[in-house]
Amino acid sequence: MSSRHPGIGMTSQRTRLRMVERLRSQGIRDETVLAVMGEVPRHIFVDEALASRAYEDISLPLGFGQSISSPHTVARMTELARAGQPLRKILEIGTGCGYQTAILAKLAKQVYSMERIAALIRKARKNLREAGIANAHLRHGDGQVGMPEVAPFDAIIMTAAATQAPGALLEQLNVGGRMVLPMASNNDQHLCVIERTDKGYIERRMDPVKFVPLLPGVG
């Protein structure tokens, strides 16, 4: 139970299991991802005033023009990044409140996450400590640059929409690794999976989504 949200924790396990059943009915097939979604207490990662809605399939505001993605979006991006394979090292662009980070940290040995808004990364560090996550390494910085000094990564997840995948990030993928990001074109967005092969990159267009735009620099 989270000490920040007394009372909610008493029903959160049951509520999380209902969320997992909903995700399964919505087409999430990776049982490892589903198990982790049922394990991580999402209510820790949202503002206390919104904690009662933490397990609904909606995005919720975090302040600073940012939001926590819906459980289905988090599960789907994680499923696409994992592709049924074990992950050693993951890079996340856009830490936000740390919820997606926590999910990834349960699936990989090490997660590296970048956030351009300093106040959010402070909040994420606190949330991850409360959730007992010790293998996530957070950095305040421009996500488009990535972390070349700790590359290559088995997977890269970007939680902001771009018109094209940043070249610096693609170069930080392992051969056989996958980058999952929202791609914006005209007035719509869709998830995109880019796999690095020994001959180049293969791009697949997936589900429609809605994310805030990728911004350069730090705030």
Q: Enumerate the active-site residues.
A: 69
191, 178 contact by CB (below 8 A): no
- CA-nearest of 176, 165, 179, 180 to 214 is 165
With beta carbons less than 8 A apart as the criterion, state whether 95 and 103 touch. no
**98 Ramachandran zone, left/alpha/beta (phi>0; psi -120 to 50):** left
With CA atoms as reference, report the closest residue to 146 among 82, 216, 84, 200. 216
Give me the numbers of helices (H) and strands (E) for the chain, helices first please: 6, 9
Taking the CA of residue 197 as centre, how many other CA atoms within 13 Å lie in the half-sphere pointing to its CB?
6
Q: What are phi and psi of 26, to 5 degrees?
A: -85, 0
